[in-house]
Amino acid sequence: MASRVLGLLLRYAYLYRRSLARSMELFFWPVMDLLVWGFLSVYLERVAAPRAVSYLVGALILWDVLYRCQQAITLAVTEDIWVKNIINLFVAPVRPAELMVATSIVGVFKAAIPGVLLTVLALVLYDYHLLALGGALAPFLASLLLFGWAVGIFTAGLILRFGQSAEALVWGIPFVLQPFSAVFYPVAVLPGWARTVALVLPSTHVFEGMRAVVAGEGLRGATLIAAFGLNAFYLLAGSLFFAWMLRRVREKGYLGKLGME
């Protein structure tokens, strides 16, 4: 298994090494988001909200972790459809689980590289110290990585089933989750029905926990337990869904159609 996962990782590494556009995508959009939200938070801090930089810039960096992990898994499948390599991928002696492991590892790197850059830029431009979250930072990042994998695996299953007609989901699903995750504001501002949705998302508990730490309330153990418990559920559900979709497209002959789209 390890050799096949390593082979997939080398394949993705070669793709990024040979494509300037792919490599720049890791940096361009995260930096643009940081500039927009960072300067907005500086303005808010000056006029009314002294903790705006801590809340908004920190939330932006953490959200990018989830988004990059989801993108790594989903785009791996989508790009193979675009270049008509999807059949070759699934007739090769590579198990679906190995593909998911490899793309999940790629997601860690895609999250870590811009994450380090954003952390440095936030320190230089806005005097924001992400490491000020202390020991809470590691479990927050781990929870967002796990949820990003779960969302990516689920989205990849949808792409397998519906092909290029579902490509909007690659970028759309994270932004459907974002308002309910309470990334830039507390859950308390959401209407009642939206709070119900928010509380079943691991990301909500992470961002609520981050705001509690910044406000000096310390790390809430119940928040972490809820986040990791929900992550375990969504990872299992996403993996079962992907396996089911893959089995269905093979049985129905959709895999061949995907290779010719």
- pLDDT tens series, the chain, 261 aa: 677 777 777 777 766 666 666 666 677 777 777 777 677 676 666 666 556 666 778 888 889 889 988 888 888 888 777 777 777 777 767 777 887 888 888 888 888 888 888 888 888 888 888 887 888 888 999 999 999 999 999 998 888 888 777 777 777 888 889 889 988 888 888 888 889 999 999 999 999 988 888 877 878 788 889 999 999 999 999 999 998 988 888 777 766 666 555
CB-based contacts of 101: which residues, under 8 Å, 6+ apart? Answer: 5
- The Cα–Cα gap between 38 and 58 comes to 10
Q: What is the pTM of this model?
A: 0.84
Q: What pLDDT, on the 0 to 100 scale, is given for residue 9?
A: 77
Give the residue extent of every domain in the chain.
Answer: 2-260
Structure tokens at 105: 């590892």
- Amino acid letter for position 213: V
Rg value, the chain, Cα: 19
Q: What pLDDT, on the 0 to 100 scale, is given for residue 141?
A: 92
pLDDT in tens, 172-199: 888 889 889 988 888 888 888 889 999 9
Q: What pLDDT, on the 0 to 100 scale, is given for residue 51?
A: 62
Q: What is the 3-state secondary structure (H, E, C) of the chain?
A: CHHHHHHHHHHHHHHHHCCHHHHHHHHHHHHHHHHHHHHHHHHHHHHCCCCHHHHHHHHHHHHHHHHHHHHHHHHHHHHHHHCCCHHHHHHCCCCHHHHHHHHHHHHHHHHHHHHHHHHHHHHHHHCCCHHHHHHHHHHHHHHHHHHHHHHHHHHHHHHHHHHHHHCHHHHHHHHHHCHHHCCCCCHHHCCHHHHHHHCCCHHHHHHHHHHHHHCCCCCCHHHHHHHHHHHHHHHHHHHHHHHHHHHHHHHHCHHHHHHHC
- The Cα–Cα gap between 208 and 34 comes to 20
Q: What pLDDT, on the 0 to 100 scale, is given for residue 22?
A: 64
